[in-house]
Amino acid sequence: MPERTIVITGASDGIGAAAARSLHSLGNRVVVVGRSPEKTAAVARDLGGADYYLADFARLDDVRALAATLLERYPRIDVLANNAGGIMGRREETGDGHEKTLQVNHLAPFLLTNLLLDRLTESQATVINTSSAANSIFARFDINDLESRRNYTPNRAYGNAKLANILFTRELDDRYRARGISTAAFHPGAVATSFAAESTTMMRLVYRTVLNRFLISPEQGAETLVWLATADPGQDWQPGKYYYKCKISTANKDAYDAALSARLWAESARMVGLPDD
């Protein structure tokens, strides 16, 4: 198989870094995207000097700049892994005016994917969205309150954002499968990473104390991402679905609402300043 270009966001740590190492070892050209300058550079260095870029998804201008750079430097993008995300603490709005959990986990990858759509279509690319079982456990989705101005809790906001990842996956599949894009969402499992570092919930206790001995390794959590990035969509896996342990899994019932996924796309486009076409 010829060398493929794989862009992974949230690749400075955790399952993103683990996936980057695995995919690099398989002969792929891995492009590392992260928020931390030190961690992102270290991962790229471990991959033999891979390309890397910095982007903070709490700033949409960073996402726009990242997309422009990727379009300039890579004539093909075979896989885009939207992996950046996390659970936050108290309700906070970004400089773009959006609730931070929603922006980092959903709006930023939605914007990045849309800005790269022409290149992804030309490349017949795979788009992989890292979701979570939180979409079923915590989500109480209200399309009229995407910014969580009512009834905010960190867990609910995170669950809603992870459900949004699946709704985005399904709508992207509906709109662009015929044009060559294959997409999937997946739950990595309960992985020992720093994704809850900004949270004030019980999740932070689990992820930062001896309780994390019961969590799986980043390498184990990355297995489904690596499989989706390397297996053959349409043959080895079915596009537009939500996966866990390399098998189709059941998501929140709202994830199967076609009208809801279409409306979320339209609302998300409006929120990040894109046309809904």
In 3D space, the residue among 225, 156, 215, 196 whose CA is nearest the CA of residue 16 turns out to be 225
Written as six digits, the tokens of 204 are 């932070």
Q: Is there a contact between 203 and 155 (Cβ–Cβ < 8 Å)?
A: yes
Distance (Å, rounded) from C-alpha 63 to C-alpha 106?
A: 12
Q: Is 52 a catalytic residue?
A: no
Q: Is there a contact between 221 and 21 (Cβ–Cβ < 8 Å)?
A: no
In 3D space, the residue among 89, 181, 166 whose CA is nearest the CA of residue 130 turns out to be 166
Phi, psi dihedrals of residue 79, rounded to the nearest 5°: -140, 135
Quote the distance between the C-alpha of residue 72 and its chain's center.
22
Quote the distance between the C-alpha of residue 205 and its chain's center.
23
Cβ atoms < 10 Å from Cβ of 273: 10
Written as six digits, the tokens of 78 are 């075979």
Distance (Å, rounded) from C-alpha 208 to C-alpha 225?
A: 24
CA dihedral 58, 59, 62, 64 (to 10 degrees): 110
User: Taking the chain, what is the end-to-end CA distance rounded to the nearest angstrom?
Assistant: 35
DSSP, collapsed to helix, strand or coil, labels residue 129 as: strand
Tell me which residue has tokens 């759509």: 117
Catalytic residue among 53, 158, 242, 243: 158
Cite the active site residues: 158
